[in-house]
Chains A and B, each alone.
Chain A
Amino acid sequence: MASLRPRTAVAPEFGALLSEVHRVGREVIAPAADAVDDAARFPHESIAALRELQLLSAYVPEAYGGLGLSIADISKVCEALGHYCASTAMIFAMHQIQVACIVHHARGSRFFEHYLRELVDQQLLIASATTELGVGGDLRSSICAIEVDGDRFRLVKKAPVISYGEQADAILVTSRRTPDAASSDQVHVLVRRGETQLEALSAWDTLGFRGTCSSGYTLSSEGAAEQIIPTPFDAILSQTMHPVSHIVWSSLWLGIAADAVGRARAFVRGEARKNPQLPPMSSLRLGEVDIVLNGMRNNVQSAVAEYARLLEADDADAFKSFGFATRINNLKLSSSQLVVDIVGKAMLICGLHGYRNDSKFTLGRHLRDAYGAALMVNNDRILAHNATMLLALKEA
Chain B
Amino acid sequence: MYAERVREIVSQHGRLSVPVAELADDSDLYQAGLTSLATVGLMLALEDGFDIEFPDNMLSRRTFGSIASLAAAVEQLAAKPVLV
A contact residues vs B (CB 8 Å cutoff):
140, 181-185, 234, 238, 317, 320-323, 385, 388-389, 391-395
Contacts and interface: CB of A to CB of B under 8 A. Distances in A.
Given A182-B17, A320-B61, A388-B40, A393 B56 contact: yes
A199 to B, nearest CB: 29
Nearest to B28: A185
A127 B45 CA distance: 40
B40 A391 contact: yes
Contact of B40 (A182, A185, A389, A394): A389
Nearest to B31: A185
Q: How large is the interface on B (under 10, 10 to 19, 20 to 34, 35 or more residues)?
A: 20 to 34
A134 to B, nearest CB: 16
Contact of B33 (A182, A321, A385, A388): A182
B24 interface: no
Interface of chain B, main secondary structure = loop
B23 interface: no
Interface centre among A238, A392, A394 (most CB of B within 10 A): A392
A321 B40 CA distance: 12
A-B CB proximity, top 10 nearest? A182-B33, A182-B17, A392-B40, A184-B35, A388-B40, A395-B56, A388-B37, A184-B33, A140-B35, A394-B56
A234 B36 contact: yes
A185 B28 CA distance: 11
A184 B44 CA distance: 21
A321 B59 contact: yes
Interface of B: 16-18, 30-37, 39-41, 43-44, 53-56, 59-61
A318 to B, nearest CB: 10
A182 B31 contact: yes
A234 B60 contact: no
Contacts of A182: 16-18, 31-33
Nearest to B33: A182
A391 B36 contact: no
B71 to A, nearest CB: 19
A391 B33 contact: no
23 contacts: A140-B36, A182-B16, A182-B17, A182-B31, A182-B32, A183-B33, A184-B30, A184-B33, A185-B30, A234-B30, A234-B36, A320-B36, A321-B56, A322-B56, A385-B37, A391-B44, A392-B40, A392-B43, A392-B44, A392-B54, A392-B56, A393-B56, A395-B55
A379 to B, nearest CB: 17
A389 B37 contact: yes
Contacts of B41: 388
Contacts of B36: 140, 234, 238, 320
Interface centre among A184, A234, A385, A395 (most CB of B within 10 A): A184
Contacts of B56: 321-323, 392-395
Nearest to A394: B56
B59 A322 contact: yes
A394 B44 contact: no
A393 B36 CA distance: 13
Given A185-B31, A388-B40, A394 B17 contact: no
Nearest to A181: B31
B79 to A, nearest CB: 19
Given A182-B17, A321-B59, A388-B40, A394 B53 contact: yes
Contacts of A234: 30, 35-36
Nearest to A396: B56
Nearest to A184: B35
